[in-house]
Amino acid sequence: MSASTPTKHLASCIFCKIIAGEIPSFTLLSNDKVHAFMDIGPIAKNHALVIPKYHAPRFTDTPDEYAAEILPAAKKVAKAIGCDEYNILQNNGRNAHQVVDHVHFHIIPKESDSDDSGLGIGWPTQGLSMDQIKEEYEKVKSRM
């Protein structure tokens, strides 16, 4: 078994400050790998966040042992919120709506379709042909 990756902290990062207890959070769960807390700019009631205790700007930068703890924590938080319908969202990069450059998973309850709370998603299907999909698939597969 490999040695565990030590936590990585960036002094100027707001989520690293939360992890270090330098600024407060409404903490739901905290262990050696992840921290879960309420979002203070919620787009729905009980909007919560789960973050690794490792400063990484993008999901792909997150060491596996931290990434592995995220989904069990998100599941626990979603169960505690008690919402039946919800989205789990993780943004990477400005074009993908990331504002805080420390990996975070949103748990966003979707109360109903009749109000505007929760996540609104566009789903712009691109109409790619099977040949186009296959061409991209071959490239991705070769890098796996």
List residues near ligand AMP by CB under 6 A.
14, 25, 39-41, 49, 91, 97-100
Residue 137 CB, shortest distance to ligand AMP, in Å, is 28
DSSP letter at 121 equals: -
Told to check if 102 binds Zn ion by CB under 5 A, we report yes
3-state secondary structure 71-102: HHHHHHHHHHHCCCCEEEECCCCHHHCCCCCC
- Cβ atoms of residues 110 and 83 within 8 Å: yes
Rounded Cα distance between 52 and 35, Å, is 6
Per annotation, catalytic residue among 35, 47, 55, 104: 104
Minimum CB distance to Zn ion, residue 116 (Å): 31
Active site residue 47: no
Rank residues 3 and 99 by Cβ distance to ligand AMP and give the closer one: 99
Q: Which is nearer to Zn ion, 99 or 140 (CB)?
A: 99
Residue pair 1/90 in contact (Cβ under 8 Å)? The answer is no
Q: How many amino acids of this chain bind Zn ion (CB under 5 A)?
A: 6
